[in-house]
Amino acid sequence: MSADPTQVLAFETDCHIFDGCGFPAPGLHSFLFEPIWGHQDDAVYFNKTMLLALLGSVIIIGFFWAAFRKPQVVPGKLQMVAEAGYDFIRRGIVYETIGKKEGEKYVPLIVSLFFFIWMMNLWSIIPVAQFPVTSIISYPLVLALIVYVLWVSLTFKRHGFVGAFKNFTGYNKELGAVLPLAMVIEFFSNLLVRPFTHAVRLFANMFAGHTLLLLFTIASWYLLNGIGIAYAGVSFIMVIVMTAFELFVQALQAYVFVLLTCTFIQGALAEHH
């Protein structure tokens, strides 16, 4: 069964409290979609989340292309918005974390990551779409792996094998007898746990937020019967509140992801002491 969130209420149209039917609570099935093309068991298929990711990429590329294809000294409204967003990431995150000299070359990557993630998050509250792509763990995981490969390669390039090993293990001879234990913990923390937590932080927030939105949306419909109408109104108010909160969380999670990315890059470029 398809679990398209836009149809969550459709297949429960006649299901209300006091009608003898149970509450259709959201769950993992709410994050599964039937393929638009192909079959679920095929090696290659295309579903709603892939479509949203593709459309989001086209929207971001189209927006910046339209804003900067004919840049003006006195910018128009579109160019002004694009410049404000670009400059916010460049100065407020990259320069502040990595530094202007070292960070300039990474600005395009960080800007691309921020707006891509933000767009993938925003699908959650856009009518018809109504699903955050980043609530599927594979998308944040791929983004985290891209950052991980960049961080590891930069560390080896800047410090060499020995320097990179010290960087990964937090080598500090002043730790004395606990140095071996500290190095083992740092090694596993940096090379194994770090990319996992980088991905899960984004995934978990969007997964939880979407589940709560579904919960209150379904409850609003389910309670529309008899005295339950009063509770349905409260639930609907929570939908509005949660939607506003999600707007904040969506931007915040994109910001946190790229901020951590810049921190990793800065750590790779910094001299080890």
pLDDT one-digit tens code per residue, 203-257:
999 999 999 999 998 888 888 877 778 888 888 999 999 999 999 999 999 999 9
- Tell me the pLDDT band of 8, cut-offs 50, 70 and 90: very low
DSSP classification of residue 126: S
Distance CA 12, CA 34 (A): 18
Instruction: Calculate the average pLDDT of the chain.
Output: 87
pLDDT digits (tens, 9 = 90+) for 145-167: 999 999 999 999 998 998 888 88
Q: In the predicted model, is pLDDT for residue 13 greater than 60? A: no
Distance CA 125, CA 251 (A): 13
- Cβ-Cβ contacts under 8 Å for 113 (sequence gap 6 or more): 143, 147, 254, 257, 258, 261
Do 30 and 3 meet the contact criterion of CB atoms below 8 Å apart? yes
For the chain, percent of residues with pLDDT exceeding 90: 54
Do 8 and 30 meet the contact criterion of CB atoms below 8 Å apart? yes
Do 198 and 190 meet the contact criterion of CB atoms below 8 Å apart? no
pLDDT digits (tens, 9 = 90+) for 90-127: 999 999 999 998 999 999 999 999 999 999 999 999 98
* Domain chopping of the chain, boundaries: 5-269
Q: In the predicted model, is pLDDT for residue 5 greater than 50? A: no
